A = this chain, B = another copy of it.
């Protein structure tokens, strides 16, 4: 159907599974409208959702966008915001098919609802098994320095992993490596050991200069949007976007999470640091 009706219409392949979800991007929580330009804000709003598709190994198809604009934002601001939203979608073949825009006496709030498709069973958090390796798609930590606004969602890498049946459980890192690992552990009813020396620490984590070490930033910082996954295989895969399978630990039967350093295991508290803009 052409645009302009209350709902958009799509026809799905028979057999394809439809995946659907939504994430918000809120001023003062996920971005700061005093600092970040509208195009970048729009991109992030979409990319957060595309990253959810990546985490489940599915391909994004379409997105629906609602924007609550502070009264007086102006047409140019709204247009830039929308261009950012559309631009990020287009890079992953995801079309904006509808939504709703309103002005209000409130702060900028954007919700993107995303529709994805999968011709295989989507990857969840619940498939990790004892003995499997734990992998990251790239270095983490220090995203607050700017990467949380500019990350590229790992859609193709996630889809490749799912297609090759290489992964048993997967999430994208939004809450932080250890918290998102805990999501997998709880859903899969397993525990995890992380090898301190194997965790890829992003350069940004070295530049944070606060009371946390770079390793702690890698373990606890949120909004990295790398993929965290488990696999029964010894994976050595990489993709053209710079993602690769980096082994960082192992799934164990004992519930809980441990950091292994110089042969010593210490328990990890996933609430190490509370990410806040």
Chain A binding surface, main DSSP class: strand
User: Are A19 and B24 interface neighbours, CB within 8 A?
Assistant: no
A24-B66, A66-B111 known; A58 and B7 CB under 8 Å? yes
User: Are B20 and A97 interface neighbours, CB within 8 A?
Assistant: yes
Report the bound CA distance from A23 to B21 in whole Å: 15
A6-B56, A104-B29 known; A11 and B18 CB under 8 Å? yes
A66-B22, A106-B107, A109-B109 known; A114 and B29 CB under 8 Å? no
Number of copies: 2
User: Are A68 and B26 interface neighbours, CB within 8 A?
Assistant: yes
Q: Which of chain A's residues 57-74 have a Cβ closer than 8 Å to chain B?
A: 58, 62, 64-66, 68
* Chain B residue contacts of A126, Cβ below 8 A: 2, 4
A131 at the interface (CB under 8 A from B): no
User: Are B21 and A53 interface neighbours, CB within 8 A?
Assistant: no
Residue of B nearest to A6 (CB): B52
Q: Which of chain A's residues 90-112 have a Cβ closer than 8 Å to chain B?
A: 97-100, 102-107, 109, 111
A8-B20, A9-B17, A97-B20 known; A1 and B102 CB under 8 Å? no
A48 to chain B, nearest CB (A): 9
A114 to chain B, nearest CB (A): 7
Report the bound CA distance from A106 to B27 in whole Å: 8
Residue of B nearest to A17 (CB): B9
A26-B106, A106-B27, A113-B64 known; A10 and B20 CB under 8 Å? yes
